[in-house]
Amino acid sequence: MPCFADKKRVVIKIGSSTLAYPETGNLNIRKSRELVEVLADLKNSGREIVFVTSGAQCVGAAKGGFLQKPKDTPSKQACAAIGQSELMKFYSENFERYNHNVAQLLLTRDVISNETRRTNVINTFNKLFELNIIPIINANDVVSIKQLDFDENDTLSAIVATLCNADLLVILTDVDGLYDGDPSLPTSNLIPEVKQINSEIISMAQGAGGVLGSGGMLTKIEAAQIATEAGIDTVIIGNKDPQLIYKLFESGDIKCTFFKGQER
């Protein structure tokens, strides 16, 4: 596993299962704070951080009084609207503790297909980097329509990585990386590096997401494919201890799955 000490612009994607308690959907304050601290510190070390965060729907569901994350679209969209402001309040206050300012970008899939919108987003990213502000991204769930839009944030994070010309994409999840079988079985092995995303890799990744998130390993592999084809190195790592993120930049000595970006 390489060490990423020289990576300057880093996109980090966090899912709902990292940020919220599965039992209640409420924000896991301790873990979210630890994450913010690590990201703020990486920024202090001279890196540019772009933070892609899910969690709006489950935090909004808890706040809106739903007993579990709803399945119908209007309720999901209402939850996203309730939760997004809650999330941004948390991030804004907690990054501020380390003297960092944040900006919210809610994106829809037309940033890929519509040239003008794509240019607008790229220009916004560039200006935010110039202003030294941390961009925080989520899908714009309120205006998105399932099938036509981002209904998970893994591929969104890869598209963000291409839009802001990132050096590295880091996707956190509730397992240490891609396994060759069911990760909960002792007979399954972690795959440290994927040289080529082929049908064998896809079949290893098949399976649903967790209770809170919308993606699973499959959408993470799709994200890795989008990013690596654009020349961006990609890592899938476990979310249990946010401090592990440091190791990517210090020693590279970490359990994870690495996908090398193709030559640009």
The contact set with ligand GLU (CB under 6 A) reads 15-16, 54-57, 80, 138-139, 141, 152-153, 213-215
Which residues does residue 48 pair with via DSSP β-bridges, in sequence order? 9
Residue 152 or 176 with smaller CB distance to ligand GLU? 152
Read off the DSSP letter of residue 152: S
Residue among 37, 50, 41, 59 at smallest CA distance from 103? 50
Measured from the CB atom, is 7 or 53 closer to ligand GLU?
Answer: 53
CB of 20 to ligand GLU, least distance (A): 9
Q: How far is the CB of 83 from ligand GLU (least distance, A)?
A: 6
Residue number with CB closer to ligand GLU (153 or 239): 153
Phi/psi region, residue 53 (left: phi>0; alpha: psi -120 to 50; beta: rest), is: beta
User: Cα separation of 251 and 120, whole Å?
Assistant: 37
Task: Pick between residue 57 and residue 108 the one whose CB is nearest to ligand GLU.
Answer: 57
Name the residue nearer to ligand GLU (CB basis): 80 or 164.
Answer: 80
Shortest Å distance, C-beta 146 to ligand GLU: 11
Least separation in angstroms between residue 173's CB and ligand GLU is 11
Least distance from ligand GLU to the Cβ atom of residue 247, Å: 25
Residue 237 in contact with residue 254, Cβ under 8 Å? yes
In this structure, what token pair is assigned to residue 178? 């891609």
Say whether 176 sits in a helix, a strand or coil.
Answer: coil
Smallest gap from residue 142 Cβ to ligand GLU (A): 10
* Rounded Cα distance, 50 and 4, in Å: 16
Decide whether 104 or 188 has the Cβ nearer to ligand GLU. 104
171: which 2 tokens? 């996707």
DSSP 36-83: HHHHHHHHHTT-EEEEEE--HHHHHHHHTT-SS---SHHHHHHHHHHH
d(CA 141, CA 108): 8
Q: How far apart are CA 233 and CA 235, in angstroms?
A: 7
**Which pair of structure tokens corresponds to residue 216?**
């699973």
Q: How far is the CB of 15 from ligand GLU (least distance, A)?
A: 6
Using the minimum distance from each CB to ligand GLU, give the nearer residue, 32 or 138.
138
